[in-house]
Amino acid sequence: MKKTDFKKFLPTIIIVAAILLVSGFVVRALTTPDSQTTEKSAQPITQAETDGLSQGASLGNPQASVVVTEFGDYQCPSCASWNSYVKNSVIDVYGDKILFVFKNFPLPIHENAPAAAQAVEAAGLQGKFWEMHNIVYEKQQDWEKEQDPNSKFESYANQLGLNIEQWKKDRDSDRVKDLISADKSLADKLQLPGTPAFLVNGVLLQPKSFKDLNSAIDEALTKTQ
């Protein structure tokens, strides 16, 4: 190519390179967990804590041989993207073949994540955990930058027909706060790299794509047949 030709096509080359760079960044953002800001030292895991991976808000079959545990942060953009996939391509696909458990792992970098977790867990005490869970993820951009997101969460609770006074009381209760703290403590002991973090029968995954989760579940199902 002549020097003059190269100059003529240089703007096009730059634009194409920029598009490829941005596309790669978006894919990586959707499949790479939000990271913790501090390193954690290894801590021993008790049998009760190991059993805790199958306890908490769950969908599917409590007697299933395959347990999929997600540690999530409601303010994490990757978690919101994963939630849509999990709902439509994991829970709906595998049904009673697995038990799917969600546990809270609000990261220090997300100031509104603890309040979101409290709002969802409080809804769970009125039998609306998954409904609130999905709304909070779907509406993430509406509340994530609010100085006080609780008014948004209260509007979602109203949409679900919850007893608002009871929901507020539960949201601020030690019962709910202790539950979230226990989830986070377990995540720290497991040295999870960030959110979302998925474990299949206690084995931490490092998925590079959404479908990697399905592959891990299929493999676990095969081993337990």
Of 157, 136, 134, 53, the closest CA to residue 100 belongs to: 53
Q: Name beta bridge partners: 195.
A: 34
Q: What is the pLDDT of residue 12?
A: 53
Same domain, 22 and 94: no
Contact present, 149 and 111 (Cβ < 8 Å): no
Same domain, 218 and 121: yes
40-49, 80-89, 126-135, 195-204: least confident range: 40-49
Q: Flag whether 130 is in a domain.
A: yes
Distance CA 194, CA 150 (A): 25
| pLDDT tens readout for residues 106-152 | 999 999 999 999 999 999 999 999 999 999 999 999 999 999 999 99
Same domain, 51 and 27: no
Q: What is the pLDDT of residue 48?
A: 78
Same domain, 27 and 57: no
Q: At what angle do helices 164-171 and 174-189 cross, to 10 degrees?
A: 50
Helix locations, the chain, DSSP H: 3-31, 47-51, 77-86, 92-94, 113-124, 129-138, 140-143, 150-159, 164-171, 174-189, 211-224
Phi, then psi, of 200 in degrees rounded to 5: -115, 115
Q: Name beta bridge partners: 204.
A: 199
Same domain, 110 and 201: yes
Q: What residues make up the domain containing 200?
A: 47-224
Same domain, 177 and 74: yes
Which element (helix H / strand E) includes 208?
none
Six-digit token pair at 208? Answer: 């590079």
DSSP helix/strand/coil, 54? helix
Q: Flag whether 65 is in a domain.
A: yes
Q: Which CATH number belongs to the domain containing residue 83 in this structure?
A: 3.40.30.10
Contact present, 143 and 115 (Cβ < 8 Å): no
Looking at every residue in the chain, the average pLDDT score rounds to: 87
Domain count, the chain: 2
Q: What is the pLDDT of residue 29?
A: 43
Is the pLDDT at 95 greater than 80, yes or no? yes
Of 36, 118, 117, 29, the closest CA to residue 77 belongs to: 29
The pTM (predicted TM-score) of the whole model is 0.82
Q: Flag whether 39 is in a domain.
A: no
Distance CA 76, CA 114 (A): 12
